[in-house]
Structure 1
Amino acid sequence: MAVTSALVALAAGCTSSDPSPAPTASAAGSPPAWTEPGSYSYVLTRGCDDAKPLGRYQVTVAAGAVSATDRLDASSVTPSANSDEDLGPVTGDTGEEIEAFTLKELIEMAQTATDDGAEVSTTYDTSDGHPTRVSIDVGDGPECWNVADYKVS
């Protein structure tokens, strides 16, 4: 992935004996290199249609791992007392549940998909370089993840 390559390039530039300062990624029109903080939170929206997302999740990361995930768009469904019908997940049949991931894992997922030949598009925040959107298409239509309300704790 471009970010990984940029990080490797920046790290290599920082260890060189050349006394001139290495150019920053933002100076070249790219977002700055992002380093995952130990603790942060964000809202993950799954789906490529912003008007009809497949799921929205509040994700909390602590010590570099997902510590909490709360589904934001699920409504509780209570079956009637005389119903034997299976309503799907506890939150009702409102979309597939996913296992949330850290932003580092999202970047790694995009890199793996790129390495496997998928069409991948990644957008980064211009102020700090965290990913804001990843789209992966392995040939049967894209899968998209959007990141909002990113806050370092």
Structure 2
Amino acid sequence: MTVVRPLLCLAVLVGPLTACGGGTEAGAPAWEEPASYAYTLTSGEGERALIGTFRITVRDGEVTEAVGLDAGARRVVRQLPGQVPTLGALLAELEQARDDDADIAEARYAADGHPTRIELDWDANALDDEARYEIRDYAPGKAAEGS
């Protein structure tokens, strides 16, 4: 009975973490970018052009709508609309950072495999070359609903 109790406690503690989609690289399920989806992106860190919170709609691999949810994001949407990324573009940036041997190139994934957080830092000794992307409110098929 004493052995079962610690295992039960471990299952209670670990189970919710994996069910909540806290997966990292090793446990990341395969994910294929759908033809249409929407998501909210909060981008920050460093002096990158893409700073702020955005609601993004994607169709056929292209951003079809980007709404800035704060002042920084509205500026980006107005001045640099081509800088607003799809999830595929964020994952490509992650892979490029890995190929370039960046000091940090990490991601977390939801249970379905889409990224929920991407952290990049090309050189830990350099200032303002890092990026952090928080992805939430992912809704596959969302862009098709507006047609």
Same fold (TM over 0.5): yes
Q: Where does the alignment leave 5 or more consecutive residues of structure 1 unmatched?
A: 1-25, 49-53, 76-88
TM-score by length of 1: 0.60
Deviations along 1:2-60, one digit per CA (max 9) or x if unpaired, are: xxxxxxxxxxxxxxxxxxxxxxxx9xx71320011000000010125xxxxx4000110
How far, CA to CA, are the matches of 1:63 and 1:97 in structure 2?
A: 20
Q: 2:58 aligns with which of 49, 56, 61?
A: 61
Aligned partner of 1:39 in structure 2 is 36
Q: 1:121 aligns with which of 106, 113, 116?
A: 106
TM superposition shift of 1:65: 1.1
- Counting only pairs closer than 5 Å after superposition, residues 47-126 of structure 1 correspond to structure 2 as 47-48=44-45, 54-74=51-71, 99-118=83-102, 119-125=104-110
TM superposition shift of 1:137: 0.3
- Identity in percent: 35
TM superposition shift of 1:147: 0.4
Which segments of structure 1 move beyond 2 Å, counting only runs of 4 or more? none
Aligned partner of 2:136 in structure 1 is 148
SS in 1 for 2:27: coil
Aligned residues: CA RMSD: 2.8
Q: Which has the larger radius of gyration?
A: 1
TM-score by length of 2: 0.62
How far, CA to CA, are the matches of 1:135 and 1:64 in structure 2?
A: 22
Letter of the 1:123 partner, please give it.
R
How far, CA to CA, are the matches of 2:138 and 2:95 in structure 1?
A: 21
TM superposition shift of 1:97: 5.9
How far, CA to CA, are the matches of 1:42 and 1:97 in structure 2?
A: 19
- Indicate the structure with greater helix content: 2
